[in-house]
Copies of this chain bind each other. A is one copy, B any other.
Amino acid sequence: MYTIKTIEWKNDKVVMLDQRLLPEQEIYNTYDDYASLAKAIENLTVRGAPAIGVAAAMGMALGALGISAKNFDDFFKKLETVRERLARTRPTAVNLFWALERMKRVTLENKTLSIPELQECLKEEAIKIYHEDIEANRTLGKHGATLLKDGMQVLTHCNAGALATAGFGTALGVIYAAQEEGKRIHVYSDETRPVLQGSRLTAWELQKHGVEVTVICDNMAGTLMQQKKIDCCIVGADRIAANGDVVNKIGTYSVAVLAKHHGIPFYVAAPLSTIDVKMKSGKEIPIEERNIREVTHIKDQMIAPSHVDVFNPAFDCTPNELVTAIITEKGISRSPFQEPFSK
């Protein structure tokens, strides 16, 4: 299977595929300080909740390596600055905060180590998070693949693939796992305005993996469902509340409503690190609003009048009653979702 190297730890540096340039150019950027990595999370060089989590952990490791400190308290204080900077990058994906908290906890648990040992320990933890993410993806992919039959036509929204994770993918991980089992799946990929993760990223990585893909504009999903061309929908998630409400890329909610109207199963695939048990419902989850230029321009091409008012939420919330099942590395949980909806 083709391997996409979304993010890697290499010689004490972080190497990431610049997703802003896809599909035209495949360029890998190298980061040796946490501040430039934080910027790369903000500007969508790397995106996708699980990938953001891994990037944040590696950012903490980069930050730790860059600290010169006389003692643990000094080190911890400086590392807190790193953590706070990384925490300010994106508000919605919980994997970011989950990874930062885990790195902080590991730091506190190892306060008796020397500074060089602690730096090494944090580096290892970041790499461990990376491997765990791929492992979780592969496991949830296998669980999810049991829902797919040979010849099915699947609608996906945004990119919840290898590019959104340390590798393999969540929603697309389910497709890849089905493909590995010899099932032929045809994917319809919503282009996913405004950042076009569907047409630029999902179509690109499905092509690389030899999966049949058809790109559609977001507003064409309904007509495909009406024509009975969609057997199920599978999307990823940026944060899932304890009650199973799913916050994911803007437009996911519309797909879920359309699926409900047409009696089509709507599945969400995400690692457990995406579940935020502190959030009782999706209503509590902060929704990032991004720069209106994402809507008014495609690169330098103006596609709306100057000074027009624009609403540009990056995510929306799909209530649990529209979610047929949530696929995690623990298995498939169906509505009504029990806290923490695990097997």
* Contact A310 B214, beta carbon cutoff 8 Å: yes
Q: Which residue of B lies closest to A201 (CB)?
A: B305
Complex interface: chain B residues within 8 A of A191 (CB): 193, 295, 303-304
A315 to chain B, nearest CB (A): 9
- Given A219-B250, A219-B251, A313-B223, the answer on whether A304 and B203 have CB atoms closer than 8 Å is yes
Within 8 A of B (CB), among A199-228: 199-200, 203-204, 207, 212-224, 226
A220's nearest neighbour on chain B, judged by CB, is: B250
A258 at the interface (CB under 8 A from B): yes
A304 and B258 form a contact (CB under 8 A): no
A260 to B257, CA, bound (A): 10
A309-B215 contact, Cβ under 8 Å, with A261-B261, A298-B301, A298-B303: yes
Contact of A311 (CB < 8 Å), options: B224, B302, B306: B224
Which A residues, 232 to 288, have Cβ-Cβ distances below 8 Å to chain B?
Answer: 250-251, 253-254, 257-258, 260-261
A343 within 8 A of partner (CB): no
Is A218 a contact partner of B215 (Cβ separation < 8 A)? no
**A331 CB-CB contact with B under 8 Å:** no
Q: How many angstroms from the CA of A316 to the CA of B216 in the assembled complex? A: 13
Residue of B nearest to A218 (CB): B219
Complex Cα distance A334/B40, Å? 53
Contact across chains for B213 and A308 when beta carbons are under 8 A apart: yes
Q: Judging by beta carbons under 8 Å apart, are B217 and A23 in contact?
A: no
Q: In the complex, which residues of chain B have a beta carbon less than 8 angstroms from the beta carbon of A304?
A: 23, 191, 196, 199-200, 203, 215
Please report the C-alpha to C-alpha distance between residue A317 and residue B298 in the assembled complex, in whole angstroms. Answer: 29
* CB of A301 to closest CB in B, whole Å: 5
In the bound assembly, the distance between CA atoms of A212 and B190 in angstroms comes to 29
The contact of A218 among B193, B303, B308, B316, by CB within 8 Å, is B193
**Chain A contacts with B in 166-198, Cβ cutoff 8 A:** 188, 190-194, 196
Quick check: B217 and A194 within 8 Å, CB to CB?
yes
Q: How far is the CA of A204 from the CA of B303 in the complex (A)?
A: 11
Interface assignment of A84: CB less than 8 Å from any CB of chain B: no
Name the contact of A298 in the complex, choosing from B222, B226, B298, B311 (C-beta under 8 A).
B298
Contacts of A299 in B (CB 8 A): 298, 301
**Which residues does chain B contribute within 8 Å of A222, judged by CB atoms?**
251, 253-254, 257, 316
Q: Would you call B217 and A251 a contact (CB within 8 A)?
A: yes
Task: Return A211 CB to nearest CB of chain B, in Å.
Answer: 11
Residues of B within 8 A of A204 (CB): 305
Q: Are A219 and B193 in contact (CB under 8 A)?
A: yes
Q: Verify A303–B220 contact, CB threshold 8 A.
A: no
User: Is A137 located at the chain interface by the 8 A CB criterion?
Assistant: no
* Complex interface: chain B residues within 8 A of A308 (CB): 199, 203, 207, 213-215
10 residue pairs A–B, Cβ–Cβ below 8 Å: A192-B219, A196-B304, A199-B304, A207-B305, A213-B308, A213-B309, A218-B218, A222-B251, A261-B261, A298-B301
